[in-house]
């Protein structure tokens, strides 16, 4: 990004702002910032805030009047009207290079603009075909599951919900967040989070039970070649060593889950291949 002298803020610009907010004339925690790079139009601030910056220039000051959403994660501010005194330090814009044959020859495997366009077109077409095939195969499995009528034990659904929440916690931790902060931000408690996951958990468990039944009926087996291929695939996706991946999965007690996933994919393939005949 580069500073755009005398530029008028428009959507997509980065406004470098100082701001100080008040509610009922009183400052509140988190309502002040200095030199904050706000991308106008990103929706990262309170609804209505960014739109009021459009048309301003570096050096301009204004009062931004907004209302916190009723579901705002800080309950003390939810539904309250606020005034932010804003000063625009600078306006920055993304500076894109001229798209020439020379640029692409120096920065990509393609030598010309036309060659790049052809390459992207081929990749997009391949992706669309793969997505269409994946959607078709998913629909076949879903149809097989829908045709199976049976009661799913509640304990299995609750266990799957717990598993999904554990996966959420891991994903949040990878992004340096935690579950408590996530719940506060989304305005949910654990009970509501579990309720939100329940329908998906039910469908997942039902799908697993149907695929397990198919595996049993068709005497589908998981061989060492299947396991080795799966471990190699996981290692490749994560840029890790196969033996390292195997050690981690074993130490976490997830080898059984790995085998079950392989078995169910092979069962799904039976359904898909059967529909193609």
* Domain-embedded: residue 126: yes
Cα separation, 130 vs 107, in Å, equals 28
Tell me, what CATH number does 245's domain have? 1.10.3120.10
Which of 25, 59, 93 terminates a domain? The answer is: 93
Cα separation, 277 vs 274, in Å, equals 6
102-113 per-position pLDDT tens digit: 888 888 888 888
> What token pair was written down for 100?
């020439």
Distances (CA, A) of 93 to 15, 44, 49, 60, 103: 9, 17, 19, 17, 21
> What token pair was written down for 126?
């391949």
User: Which runs of consecutive H residues, i.e. helices, occur in 52-112?
Assistant: 101-107
**How confident is the model at residue 102, as a pLDDT?**
86
* pTM recorded for the entire structure: 0.55
Distances (CA, A) of 209 to 154, 156, 157, 264, 266: 13, 10, 12, 9, 14
178-195 per-position pLDDT tens digit: 888 888 878 888 999 999
The residue among 5, 4, 10 whose CA lies nearest residue 51 is 10
Low-confidence ranges of the chain (pLDDT < 50): none
Q: Do residues 28 and 117 lie in contact, with contact meaning Cβ atoms separated by under 8 Å?
A: no
* Domain-embedded: residue 99: no
The residue among 17, 27, 25 whose CA lies nearest residue 62 is 17
Q: Which helix (H) or strand (E) holds 7?
A: none
Cα separation, 50 vs 48, in Å, equals 6
Let me know whether 179 and 44 are in one domain. Answer: no
Let me know whether 268 and 158 are in one domain. Answer: yes
**How confident is the model at residue 277, as a pLDDT?**
62
Let me know whether 123 and 204 are in one domain. Answer: yes
Tell me, what CATH number does 57's domain have? 3.10.50.40
Rounded to the nearest 10 degrees, what angle do helices 255-276 and 113-146 cross at? Answer: 90
Let me know whether 191 and 260 are in one domain. Answer: yes
**How confident is the model at residue 1, as a pLDDT?**
62
Let me know whether 82 and 136 are in one domain. Answer: no
* Domain-embedded: residue 107: no
Let me know whether 180 and 230 are in one domain. Answer: yes
**Domain count for the chain:** 2
Let me know whether 117 and 175 are in one domain. Answer: yes
Let me know whether 165 and 117 are in one domain. Answer: yes
**How confident is the model at residue 96, as a pLDDT?**
74
Let me know whether 54 and 163 are in one domain. Answer: no
* Domain-embedded: residue 102: no
- Range of the structural domain that residue 147 is part of: 113-276
The DSSP string of 12-45 is T-EEEEEEEEEETTEEEEEEEEEEEEEETTS--S
* Domain-embedded: residue 53: yes
Let me know whether 89 and 117 are in one domain. Answer: no
* Domain-embedded: residue 218: yes
Let me know whether 86 and 190 are in one domain. Answer: no
Let me know whether 85 and 131 are in one domain. Answer: no
**How confident is the model at residue 195, as a pLDDT?**
94
**How confident is the model at residue 65, as a pLDDT?**
95
């Amino acid at each position: 990004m580069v500073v755009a002298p005398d530029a008028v803020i428009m959507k997509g610009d980065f406004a470098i702002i100082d701001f100080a907010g008040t509610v009922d004339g009183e400052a509140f925690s988190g309502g002040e910032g200095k030199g904050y790079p706000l991308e106008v139009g990103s929706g990262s601030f309170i609804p209505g805030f960014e739109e009021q910056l459009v048309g301003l220039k570096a050096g301009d000051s204004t009062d931004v009047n907004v209302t916190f959403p009723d579901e705002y994660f800080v309950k003390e501010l939810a539904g309250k009207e606020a005034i932010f005194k804003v000063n625009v330090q600078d306006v920055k814009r993304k500076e894109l290079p001229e798209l020439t044959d020379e640029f692409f020859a120096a920065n990509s495997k393609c030598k010309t603009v036309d060659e790049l366009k052809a390459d992207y077109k081929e990749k997009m077409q391949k992706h669309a075909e793969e997505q269409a095939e994946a959607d078709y195969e998913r629909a076949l499995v879903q149809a097989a599951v829908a045709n199976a009528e049976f009661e799913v034990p509640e304990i299995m659904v609750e266990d799957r919900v717990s598993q999904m929440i554990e996966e959420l916690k891991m994903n949040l931790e990878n992004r340096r967040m935690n579950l408590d902060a996530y719940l506060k931000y989304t305005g949910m408690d654990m009970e509501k989070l579990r309720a939100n996951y329940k329908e998906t958990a039910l469908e997942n468990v039902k799908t697993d039970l149907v695929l397990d039944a198919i595996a049993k009926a068709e005497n589908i087996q998981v061989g060492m070649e299947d396991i080795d291929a799966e471990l190699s695939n996981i290692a490749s996706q994560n840029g890790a060593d196969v033996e390292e991946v195997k050690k981690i999965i074993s130490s976490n007690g997830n080898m059984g889950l790995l085998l079950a996933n392989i078995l169910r994919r092979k069962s799904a393939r039976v359904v898909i291949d059967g529909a193609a005949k």
